[in-house]
Homo-oligomer: A and B are copies of this chain.
Amino acid sequence: MKTPKISEAVVRRLPVYLRFLNELKANEVLTVSSQDLGQKLDLNPAQIRKDLAHFGEFGRKGIGYDVSYLIEKIRAILKLDRVMNVALVGAGNLGRALSNYNAYLKDNMKIVAIFDNVPSKVGETVNNLQVQPMSELASTVKNREIRIGIITVPAAEAQNVADSFAAAGIEAILNFAPVILKVPSHIRIHHADFTTDLLSLAYYIEEEEEHE
Inter-chain contacts of A191 with B (CB < 8 A): 16
- Chain B interface: which of A114-122, A137-145, A170-178? A170-178
Inter-chain contacts of A97 with B (CB < 8 A): 92-94, 97, 152
Q: Interface residues of A, CB < 8 Å — how many?
A: 68
Considering only residues 158-212 of chain A, those with a C-beta below 8 Å from chain B are 171-172, 174, 176, 178-180, 186, 188-208, 210
Copies in the complex: 2
Cβ-closest chain B residue relative to A90: B97
CB distance from A204 to the nearest CB of B (A): 4
Interchain CA distance A145-B210 in the complex, whole Å? 18
Asked whether any CB of chain B lies closer than 8 Å to the CB of A32, the reply is: no
- Given known A-B contacts A84-B202, A93-B93, A202-B78, A195 and B104 have beta carbons under 8 A apart: yes
- Given known A-B contacts A77-B203, A78-B202, A200-B15, A208 and B186 have beta carbons under 8 A apart: yes
Tell me which of B104, B189, B203 contacts A178 (CB under 8 A).
B104
Can you list the 8 inter-chain pairs with the closest CB atoms, starting with the nearest?
A94-B97, A93-B97, A15-B199, A79-B206, A15-B196, A188-B204, A172-B201, A93-B96
Interface string of A90-128 (1 = CB under 8 A from B): 001110111011001100010000000000000000000
